[in-house]
Amino acid sequence: MSTITTKDGTEIYYKDWGSGPPVVFSHGWPLSSDAWESQMVFLAANGYRCIAHDRRGHGRSSQPYNGNDMDTYADDLSELIEKLDLNDISLVGHSTGGGEVVRYIGRHGSQRVAKVVLMGAVSPLMLKTNANPAGLPVEVFDKIRAGVIADRSQFFKDLTSSFFGTDRPGANISQGVRDAFWLQGMQGGLKNQLDCIKAFSETDFTPDLKKFDMPTLIIHGDVDQIVPIDASAHASAKLIKNATLMIYPDGPHGLADTHKDKLNANLLAFLRGN
């Protein structure tokens, strides 16, 4: 397997497919880089080098007890980018991975970055506060924590309903796709996934978004039940200068599977500058 070892000794697994301008993908919770395979195959076939890693504590990467926070996730991403010596990168982040990408820009700058795509991203802040009334109450995240602790396997199976929108009329998602979600989730470490809930829900990315100075595409489904669109995509679009907001009608959270052909086409067009 291809891995790097970070400064704190954590092994980060990554896949590196194709050749051409680099596109680096960051996945959502509780998944792994496998969540991006449809996009990676498509873009690699169209002349791009596609790189995706398993976040620490997820997939095939190490499961350290500490460092399961957004700052460290962003630093891990930076170490991967630097060790592969990538430049003029297009960063693509989904959900928690969107937060990871945003925090990377905030902590490490945009010198190596050409473009950014945020899809169903958790930024700027998921948690409801006095300053963020469109967010979700902390009780929502406490319920996720309780479900993961009580029966992680069943919780992930149940989560596929809202993640892919299978509870909505007209949904056409196979059991196989839902099983793949469960499998990816079960590869991660329990401690890591519990810590990550706090990281993706309570981190305020507002200062990071204000540092964006590159073309940015924001993609979000208008029936996303995981990351509410008003507190995320609409808010981020107001904070990022000249961002392009693309809303998918009837789109749930798991757009990489439910709308993969449309997403692939939109990504390719954005990367090509069309």
What residues are paired with 248 via a beta bridge?
221
pLDDT of residue 144: 98
- Bridge partners (DSSP) of residue 5 are 11
> What does the DSSP 8-state code read for residue 33?
G
| Segments of the chain with pLDDT less than 50 | none
Give the C-alpha distances (Å, rounded to integers) separating 225 from 92, 111, 161, 162, 238.
21, 34, 10, 6, 21
Q: What pLDDT does residue 250 have? A: 94
CATH number of the domain located at residue range(s) 3-272 in this protein:
3.40.50.1820
Is 95 annotated as catalytic? yes
d(CA 184, CA 199): 19
Return phi, psi of residue 78, to 5°: -60, -45
The confidence score (pLDDT) of residue 1 equals 81
Residue-wise pLDDT for 199-233, tens only, equals 999 999 999 999 999 999 999 999 999 999 999 99
Give the residue among 100, 192, 200, 208 at the shortest CA–CA distance from 148. Answer: 192
- Domain layout of the chain by residue ranges: 3-272
Residue 118, SS3? strand
Give the pLDDT confidence score for residue 170 in this predicted structure: 78
58, 31 contact by CB (below 8 A): yes
Active-site residue, 27 included: no
Q: What is the distance in angstroms between the CA of the first residue and the CA of the last residue of the chain? A: 35
Q: Tell me the C-alpha distance between 271 and 210, whole Å.
A: 22
Cα R_g (the chain), whole angstroms: 17
Q: Active site residue: 224, 232, 236, 257, which one? A: 224
Q: Which amino acid is at 209?
A: L
Q: Is 53 tagged catalytic? A: no
Residue 198's pLDDT is what?
A: 98
56 by DSSP, 3-state: which? Answer: coil
The alpha carbon of 137 is separated from its chain's Cα centroid by a whole number of angstroms, namely 21
Task: Output the pLDDT for position 168.
Answer: 83
- Whole-model pTM over 0.85: yes
